[in-house]
Structure 1
Amino acid sequence: MVNAGIAVTGAAVRLTGSGLGCPTWPRCTPDSFVPAPHDAHSPVNMAIEFGNRLLTFLVLAVAIGCFLAAVRLARPGSDQGRRVLVGLATLQPLGVVAQALWGGVVVRSVLNPVTVSVHFLLSVGMIAAAFALFARSGEGDAPPHRLVHRDIRTLGFFLTAAVFVLIIVGVVVTGTGPHSGDQRASRFDFDIESVVRLHTDVVWIVVGLTFALLFALHVTDSPGRARRGALVLLGVELGQGVIGYVQYFLAVPALMVGLHVLGATLVWIATLRVVFLMRSRGTLDAPAAEQALPHAANA
């Protein structure tokens, strides 16, 4: 939640023109770590940018909490599988530090669209790692076994890759269009209509793959939770599509762009959820021997 939240608030910083509200890093101004009067920046822009920087500490606190909880679960004498959680949890504080350092690169590059895009993609990666930690912590430690046909699970992996490509194309569209975050920021030198068409094409590919996955899960009588997860994903994608078309026909207002960024994170999370729902590692309270039994779908 906090990883998705700071990705959205980071977009809000850009959409309000506050990308360089704090013109230096790690200080907010050349002489102060906190907002101070500055001729080139309004107090509102400085407060918005500095507030987003402060949110980093909240994300870091949650990340450290996840790490400590994972260490406790993997204390000496615990099951080997629980130690996997430590590795996943370690990615969170490390990712926050990497994001903070990269944020300095973004500021020092005067919001170069490449650095801004990488900043968002780092958040996408952290969301994936956080969801894997969440899913893994609530299941057993048996070897993973499929709950659906092998080809359907492969389709789920293709869908995940397509959604990730969609996100990449989306950040290219963002880096080409308006709302750069500051008047001094540069933009990608692409034709905006061309990249928007490309983005739309990838959207339809993702929707088509999602519909195919949902259809395949239903005709093979796959577990209900997997079917419901795919249905939720399709619903989130359709909602995101409505937002996308509305923002296009309204000439890309900042509010709709912010909602579109939120929608992108929800689509990513819903996609990851479907993939994890198509396999199982047993339950936490099941005996190890029972966890290791293959699922009926594999038999």
Structure 2
Amino acid sequence: MKLPTDHPNPLVRRLLSFWAPTAESMRGWAMASVVVNAGIAVTGAGVRVSGSGLGCPTWPKCTPDSFIPVAHPEASIFNMLIEFGNRLLTFLVLAVGVACVLSALRLAPRRRSLIWLAWLQPVGIMAQALWGGLVVGTMLNPFTVGMHFLISAGLIAACWTLYARAGEGDGPARRVTHPDIRRLGYVLLAAVFVLLVAGVVVSGTGPHSGDEMASRFDLDIEAVARLHADVVYIVVGLTFALLFALHVNNSPRPARRATLVLFAVELGQGVIGYTQYFLAVPAMLVLLHVLGSTLVWIAALRVVTSLRTRAPKAAHSPAEAAAAF
């Protein structure tokens, strides 16, 4: 009987690898899930900055009478296609999430930790889709729109954790550097999440609401922008402190490299942020800023997972040892 991994086409072998997974292909599907979840977060911002947030004015149907875009007096067909296209991407994200679940279930030996992490993806994606319906139902209320992005951040965290754990064992976590440095890494990650929340507040206060009928937070845009900048300074300062501490303690190269990448991404994001501020927030730079925010979050997750490792779980009996082998 021919296995999917025996197919002569390498692309087909990769696409069907969830049926006969290896540790490497499990990590590959987890990374694919990171990419597609980050991608749909960015395209969602594209829907907003293009003014297409209510391109499909109903949910789950695109219009009251059709699941697909058709001429409708409440929206232009251009905006309708952009919003509908973003909805279709949900099925791609869900397909990758299901592939992660199948890979985790069929991986030998089976690892319960990976199965739980993999199941978070289709469950979270379905919850995210339902929340998208709430976004439409509330006419792009800035709170629901902001939560839509933050839920994506949570899904990205679950996907990255699956990627990291798939490359490790199931033994107890073991730090690779001083415990205070590891704590600093967690403080940095928390600060980056606060930065994402602050960015959501700025987005919900400023222009590019997604539609003329959408409401905005009743806040002073200058004040929230300054608050956002203050959090940026804190995050950059914490990142530099972590990078310095890792260097002084001669910590493993992967941890130093991950922190250096985060620092570089933060600097690039800062350039985009200040440029869009001084150019009166053009739509394209807003889109790049959302992409940068997503990359900062992923880079911060990478830093935290680089500060510890896990060895294979020790077998407690000959039978378990044979199964592990």
User: Aligning the two structures, in what range does the TM-score lie when normalised by the shorter sequence?
Assistant: over 0.9
1:97 aligns with 2:131: no
Once residues 252 and 124 of structure 1 are traced to their aligned partners in structure 2, the CA distance between those partners, rounded to angstroms, is 23
Match of 1:292 in 2: none
Once residues 12 and 6 of structure 1 are traced to their aligned partners in structure 2, the CA distance between those partners, rounded to angstroms, is 9
Match of 2:7 in 1: none
Match of 2:100 in 1: 66
1:139 aligns with 2:139: no
Give the 3-state SS of the residue equivalent to 1:145 in structure 2: strand
Once residues 118 and 19 of structure 1 are traced to their aligned partners in structure 2, the CA distance between those partners, rounded to angstroms, is 15
Q: Are the aligned partners of 2:262 and 2:296 in contact in 1 as well (CA < 8 Å)?
A: yes
Once residues 274 and 152 of structure 2 are traced to their aligned partners in structure 1, the CA distance between those partners, rounded to angstroms, is 25
Once residues 187 and 199 of structure 1 are traced to their aligned partners in structure 2, the CA distance between those partners, rounded to angstroms, is 17
Once residues 225 and 103 of structure 1 are traced to their aligned partners in structure 2, the CA distance between those partners, rounded to angstroms, is 37
Summarize the alignment of residues 142-181 of structure 1 with structure 2, pairs less than 5 Å apart: 142-181=171-210
Match of 1:249 among 266, 270, 278: 278
Give the 3-state SS of the residue equivalent to 1:9 in structure 2: helix
Q: What is the CA distance between 1:42 and its match in structure 2? A: 0.7
Match of 1:293 in 2: none
Moved over 6 A (4+): none
Q: Structure 2 unaligned segments of length 5 or more: list them.
A: 1-34, 316-325
1:281 aligns with 2:281: no
Deviation readout 1:252-296 (Å, 9 max, x if unpaired): 0000000000000000000000111111113x6xx847xxxxxxx
1:111 aligns with 2:145: no
Counterpart residue identity of residue 270, structure 1: A
TM-score (norm 2): 0.85
Match of 1:57 in 2: 91
Once residues 202 and 274 of structure 1 are traced to their aligned partners in structure 2, the CA distance between those partners, rounded to angstroms, is 19
Counterpart residue identity of residue 283, structure 2: A
Match of 2:60 in 1: 26
Deviation readout 1:4-45 (Å, 9 max, x if unpaired): 000000000000000000000010000000001111211100
Once residues 165 and 9 of structure 1 are traced to their aligned partners in structure 2, the CA distance between those partners, rounded to angstroms, is 22
TM-score (norm 1): 0.92
Once residues 44 and 257 of structure 2 are traced to their aligned partners in structure 1, the CA distance between those partners, rounded to angstroms, is 31
Give the 3-state SS of the residue equivalent to 1:40 in structure 2: coil
Match of 2:262 in 1: 233
Counterpart residue identity of residue 32, structure 1: S
1:186 aligns with 2:215: yes
Once residues 143 and 104 of structure 1 are traced to their aligned partners in structure 2, the CA distance between those partners, rounded to angstroms, is 41
Match of 1:10 in 2: 44
Match of 1:121 among 141, 144, 150: 150
CA RMSD of aligned residues (A): 1.1
Match of 2:224 among 195, 208, 212: 195
> Alignment identity in percent?
69
Counterpart residue identity of residue 182, structure 1: D
Counterpart residue identity of residue 95, structure 1: G
Once residues 267 and 157 of structure 2 are traced to their aligned partners in structure 1, the CA distance between those partners, rounded to angstroms, is 22
Give the 3-state SS of the residue equivalent to 2:74 in structure 1: coil
Q: Are the aligned partners of 2:186 and 2:304 in contact in 1 as well (CA < 8 Å)?
A: yes
Give the 3-state SS of the residue equivalent to 1:167 in structure 2: helix
Q: Structure 1 unaligned segments of length 5 or more: list them.
A: 290-299
Once residues 5 and 41 of structure 1 are traced to their aligned partners in structure 2, the CA distance between those partners, rounded to angstroms, is 25
Give the 3-state SS of the residue equivalent to 1:49 in structure 2: helix
Once residues 170 and 204 of structure 2 are traced to their aligned partners in structure 1, the CA distance between those partners, rounded to angstroms, is 43
Once residues 31 and 176 of structure 1 are traced to their aligned partners in structure 2, the CA distance between those partners, rounded to angstroms, is 33
Q: How many residues align?
A: 281
